[in-house]
Structure formats: structure tokens, C-alpha cells
């Protein structure tokens, strides 16, 4: 999928859903493990964990680095 062609957010219809990747338990890359909306006011997210789909889990914000 071309990075200029991300799907429109199904929740706010303003932002786009962009993929995030992670690493599995054995260290292998897991591409497209999560999708999040680019609209900061929306916070729509979709995650795949252990073969299950989780929608709109709370977002925990990390500490800001100054």
C-alpha cells in the first residue's frame, strides 16, 4: 500500500488510518499490528493482539522529552 493512500478514518472521517509495527515474542517483526487515526482529536485505534482484534482501547500517553 502506498503511503500516500492510507484509508480514511472510519470514526472521524477527517484523519487517515496509518499502520504501526511491533515485534513478536521471539523478536520477529509484526507489520501492521495496529492502526491509528492521524487526527489527534479522534484517537480511533485498531490493534491485533494474539489473533484478536481490539478496537478503541484507551491511549496511554508517554512522558514528553524536552
64 in any annotated domain: no
In a domain, 62, yes or no: no
Instruction: For residue 37, count CB atoms less than 10 angstroms from its CB and return exposed for 0-12, middle for 13-18, buried for 19 or more.
Output: buried
Q: What is the pLDDT of residues 6-54, one digit of tens each?
A: 999 999 999 999 998 888 778 888 888 899 999 999 999 999 888 899 9
Domain total in the chain: 1
Phi first, then psi: give them for residue 17, nearest 5 degrees: -85, 125
Residue 61 within a domain: no
Range of the domain at 43: 1-52
How far from the centroid of its chain's Cα atoms is residue 36's Cα?
Answer: 3
pTM: 0.72
The answer to whether residue 6 is domain-embedded is: yes
59 within domain boundaries: no
Confidence of residue 63 (pLDDT cuts 50, 70, 90): low
Amino acid at each position: 500500500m502506498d503511503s500516500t493512500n492510507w484509508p480514511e478514518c472510519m470514526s472521524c472521517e477527517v484523519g487517515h488510518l496509518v499502520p504501526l509495527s511491533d515485534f513478536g515474542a521471539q523478536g520477529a517483526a509484526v507489520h501492521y499490528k495496529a492502526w491509528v487515526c492521524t487526527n489527534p482529536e479522534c484517537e480511533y485505534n485498531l490493534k491485533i493482539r494474539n489473533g484478536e482484534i481490539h478496537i478503541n482501547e484507551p491511549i496511554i500517553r508517554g512522558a514528553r522529552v524536552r
